[in-house]
Amino acid sequence: MAKGSNASLWPWLGLAAILFVADQFTKVLILGYYRLGDSTTITSFFNIVRVHNTGAAFSFLAGAGGWQRWFFTAVGVGAAAFIVWMLRSHPGQKLFAFALSCILGGAVGNVVDRLLHGYVVDWLDFHWRFLSGVFPGGHFPAFNLADAAITVGAVALIVDEIRRVRRSR
């Protein structure tokens, strides 16, 4: 724990656990009610789908032949260990700890998918016509709650660093 800090690690681990459970719960529902490739239109720009991602973000290395499963699992486990160490060192830095907790919950959610299934279950499919020049049919790559938590955490880390730099001036 940081010097002079009475803050606890447990609320941050609790947040990560809540994100993990929500992610896994939604994936269990998708696996139970959808077959691979199924899609349900919800709005003009959002579908619920079932996609299996054997790679990383944007299906990076998805077709690499199988070794990537263990590589991304090891990266996720290493990142989770480092994040817990950082949380222990800085539990009183609220935005920083919030960011790390979001990333931790998401990383563990996707690691569990890789270990259980050999792929990550993605199910959120957003699409807009203006994205057609970048993504096929304007469909942003499908993702899940773990990915969303990681993204929120990354944005919060950037905001925290910008605030830290501004305070040091």
The residues annotated with a catalytic role in the active site are 122, 147
Residue with tokens 């499963």: 69
Q: Do 103 and 9 touch, CB atoms closer than 8 A? A: no
- Alpha-carbon distance of 88 to 10, in angstroms, equals 9
Closest residue by Cα to residue 124 from 104, 103, 140: 140
- Alpha-carbon distance of 166 to 20, in angstroms, equals 33
| Non-local CB neighbours of 84 within 8 Å, separated by 6+ positions | 9, 13, 104
